[in-house]
């Protein structure tokens, strides 16, 4: 069996060996539910779709995913187990992938447990289930992007709180990069090309069409590229910082 | 064989390891000795591929640690300082995880797992979280992990730290049992441990190699080596004996204690004094009430070598 798979299994199991998994899942489900019904006006809209549910996912992930990713490497560095891991016959890439995929699978489990939402909307009306499935996949993809950012930042520090805060800030920047709050920082001095590029990095923009059930290849590629770039950065950061 | 070729490691402005060159062959149990911060752990981390040397290179059975890390890591079992592991796992799950990563399969996997669990007496805690185990058990879990795949090279950073005397004894037995065909490198502060298990000792201070010999030869460099302590039955005999010893060729240095009966005969460096002393006693027909020969203490050599190195 590939080393990345062995690490994946160990990591995923360790989530359920600690309260982390249960706390995360319960909070995620509670927040996802209450946002949909109270803020999203699920009933009041009178439409059989899940867009009030999905539209809050970026904001849920903004705080919950860093809470999950903060420990990925910071904890290994703090406890010293990174020294054990990195002296086993495992490559850096395998280690990074194993951990990332486990965290991603875990968010997938949390996301799958929102299925009562899907049951409700099917009970109440006649939704487009293809669009809902597409939105689920898009949401999972976006969670992966958040996680990849968080995993990389977690490798830069031994302190989980620092990892959490930095990840929230960076993810917030990515979420809102298409909005004036972020763009105004650059508009005065940066060339238009750079401003446009930054604007095109927005998670919200890329997620908005997916959340309505429209899978555009460009959005999928965008999130995949974000994941790949941050995981590559994770490998580099880990190599530089593992022994500190 | 492990070979380090002028290996140096710099952390910022600190030179942690300075041009270290040595090689270790199968069957050797090498003890790294040195004060805290001497570069022992850093050297071990470089051999195991956890950190890269700033200069020089390290070969493990011909494989370069930097260019071919996976091949090297396969041959090495490593107990890092403090025996880190995954606290939320139990020893059985942890060892199974290591066995998978080490590529152990089928009957051999089961046999090696049974062996290390039995050998390190982990049977009673297999299902308990590692976090909740005592320091001694944690250390043994770390050791079990290191020897699980029966590696050709074993690198143990302070393997008996935190163990009680019985457990120390067990671990030393384990190291001795495995030593015949393996390369074993251990670091320790406990000098008696070096004498108990190592057949070679290196003293490192400030990243430099200061001494490299068998523990016995190192101990023999101690100033007190072969000094004879004796207590005579009356003070006139003691005085006469002291004079006789000082007239030997080469003369021995004699120290008399205040009670008038006890004396210490310190031989010329590298010589013995006992044979001449015995001859004198026989000739005079004196029978001392106590007599013992001091063995060199590794402690003394360690102290003189490591403090002498300081500028």
Q: Domain-by-domain residue ranges, chain B?
A: 2-220, 228-294
Residues of A in contact with B76 (CB under 8 A): 87
Residue of chain B whose alpha carbon sits nearest to that of A83: B50
How does the average pLDDT of chain A come out, rounded?
89
CB half-sphere exposure, A195, CA atoms < 13 A: 14
Backbone angles phi, psi at A63, to 5 degrees: -105, -30
For B187-207, give the DSSP string. Answer: E-S-HHHHHHH-SEEEEEETT
Residue of chain A whose alpha carbon sits nearest to that of B71: A89
Instruction: Calculate how close chain B gets to A24, using CA atoms only, in Å.
Output: 17
Cα separation, A27 vs A110, in Å, equals 10
Structure tokens at A244: 């500190």
Q: What is the pLDDT of residue A1?
A: 57
- pLDDT greater than 80 at residue A178: no
Q: What is the pLDDT of residue B145?
A: 96
Q: Which CATH class is domain B2-220?
A: alpha beta
Q: Which of B224, B286, B262 is nearest to B277 (CA)?
A: B286
Q: What is the pLDDT of residue B279?
A: 85
Count chain A–chain B contacts defined by CB atoms under 8 A: 62
| B228-294 classified as CATH 3.40.190 | no
Residues of B in contact with A5 (CB under 8 A): none
**Contact between chains at B88 and A86 (C-beta distance less than 8 A):** no
Among B9, B86, B154, B155, which would you mutate to test the A interface (most chain A Cβ atoms within 10 Å of its Cβ)?
B86
Nearest to B73 among A10, A88, A242 (CB): A88
Instruction: Calculate how close chain A gets to B81, using CA atoms only, in Å.
Output: 9
CB A115 within 8 A of CB A33: no
> A122 touching B, CB under 8 A?
no
Q: What is the pLDDT of residue B48?
A: 95
Torsion from C-alpha of A9, A11, A12, A17, nearest 10 degrees = 120
Q: Show me where the domains of chain A are located.
A: 3-241
Express each pLDDT in B211-236 by its tens digit.
Answer: 899 988 888 887 778 888 888 888 88
Q: What is the pLDDT of residue B303?
A: 82
Cα separation, B5 vs B133, in Å, equals 40
Q: In this predicted complex, what is the ipTM?
A: 0.89
> A6 touching B, CB under 8 A?
yes
**Contact between chains at A87 and B86 (C-beta distance less than 8 A):** no
Instruction: Calculate how close chain B gets to A143, using CA atoms only, in Å.
Output: 25
Residues of A in contact with B101 (CB under 8 A): 3, 6-7, 88-90
Cβ within 8 Å of residue B196, ≥6 positions away: B172
What pLDDT tens digit does each residue of chain B (311 aa) get?
999 999 999 998 999 999 999 999 999 999 999 888 889 999 999 999 999 999 999 999 999 999 999 999 999 999 999 999 999 999 999 999 999 999 999 999 999 999 999 999 999 999 999 999 998 899 999 999 999 999 999 999 999 887 888 888 988 999 998 888 899 999 988 888 888 899 999 999 889 998 899 988 888 887 778 888 888 888 888 888 888 888 877 777 888 888 888 888 888 777 788 888 888 888 888 888 888 888 877 888 888 888 864 43
Least confident of A48-57, A161-170, B51-60, B155-164: A48-57
Total number of residues shown for chain A = 244
């Amino acid at each position: 069996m590939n080393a990345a798979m062995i690490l994946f299994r160990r990591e995923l199991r360790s989530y359920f060996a600690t309260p982390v998994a249960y706390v995360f899942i319960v909070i995620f489900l509670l927040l996802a539910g209450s946002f949909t019904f109270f803020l999203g006006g699920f009933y009041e809209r009178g439409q059989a779709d899940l867009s009030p549910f999905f539209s809050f996912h970026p904001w849920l992930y903004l705080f919950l995913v860093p809470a999950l990713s903060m420990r990925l490497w910071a904890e290994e560095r703090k406890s010293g187990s990174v020294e054990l891991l990195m002296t086993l016959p495992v490559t850096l890439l395998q280690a990074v992938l194993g951990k990332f995929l486990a965290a991603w699978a875990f968010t997938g489990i949390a996301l799958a447990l929102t299925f009562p939402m899907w049951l409700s909307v099917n009970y109440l009306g006649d939704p487009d289930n293809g669009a809902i499935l597409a939105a689920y996949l898009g949401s999972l993809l976006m969670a992966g992007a958040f996680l990849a950012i968080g995993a990389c930042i977690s490798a830069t520090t031994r302190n989980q709180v620092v990892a959490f805060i930095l990840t929230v800030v960076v993810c917030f920047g990515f979420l809102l990069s298409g909005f004036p709050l972020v763009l105004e920082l650059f508009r005065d001095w940066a060339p238009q090309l750079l401003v446009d590029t930054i604007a095109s990095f927005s998670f919200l923009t890329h997620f908005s069409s997916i959340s309505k059930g429209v899978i555009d290849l460009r959005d999928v590629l965008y999130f995949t590229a974000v994941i790949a770039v941050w995981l590559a950065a994770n490998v580099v950061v880990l190599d530089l910082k593992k022994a500190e | 064989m492990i070979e380090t070729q002028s290996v140096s490691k710099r952390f910022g402005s600190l030179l942690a390891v300075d041009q270290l060159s040595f090689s270790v062959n199968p069957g050797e149990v090498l003890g790294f000795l040195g004060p805290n911060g001497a570069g022992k752990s850093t050297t071990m981390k470089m051999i195991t591929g956890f950190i890269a040397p700033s200069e020089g290179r390290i070969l493990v059975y011909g494989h370069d640690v930097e260019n071919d890390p996976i091949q090297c890591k396969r041959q090495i079992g490593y107990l890092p300082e403090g025996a880190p592991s995954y606290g939320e796992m139990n020893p059985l799950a942890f060892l199974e995880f290591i066995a998978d990563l080490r590529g152990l399969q089928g009957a051999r996997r089961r046999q090696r797992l049974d062996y290390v669990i039995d050998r390190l007496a982990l049977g009673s805690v297999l299902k308990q979280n590692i976090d909740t185990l005592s320091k001694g058990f944690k250390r043994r879990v770390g050791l079990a992990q290191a020897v699980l795949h029966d590696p050709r090279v074993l690198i143990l950073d302070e393997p008996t730290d935190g163990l009680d005397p019985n457990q120390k004894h067990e671990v030393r037995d384990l190291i001795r049992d495995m030593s015949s065909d393996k390369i074993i490198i251990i670091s320790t502060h406990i000098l008696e441990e070096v004498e108990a298990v190592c057949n070679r000792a290196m003293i490192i201070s400030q990243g430099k190699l200061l001494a490299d010999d068998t523990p016995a030869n190192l101990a023999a460099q101690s100033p007190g080596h072969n000094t004879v302590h004796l207590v005579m039955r009356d003070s006139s005999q003691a005085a006469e004996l002291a004079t006789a010893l000082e007239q030997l060729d080469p003369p021995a240095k004699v120290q008399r204690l205040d009670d008038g009966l006890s004396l210490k005969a310190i031989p010329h460096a590298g010589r013995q004094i006992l044979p001449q002393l015995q001859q004198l006693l026989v000739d005079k027909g004196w029978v001392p009430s106590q007599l013992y020969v001091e063995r060199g203490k590794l402690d003394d050599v360690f102290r003189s070598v490591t403090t002498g190195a300081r500028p």
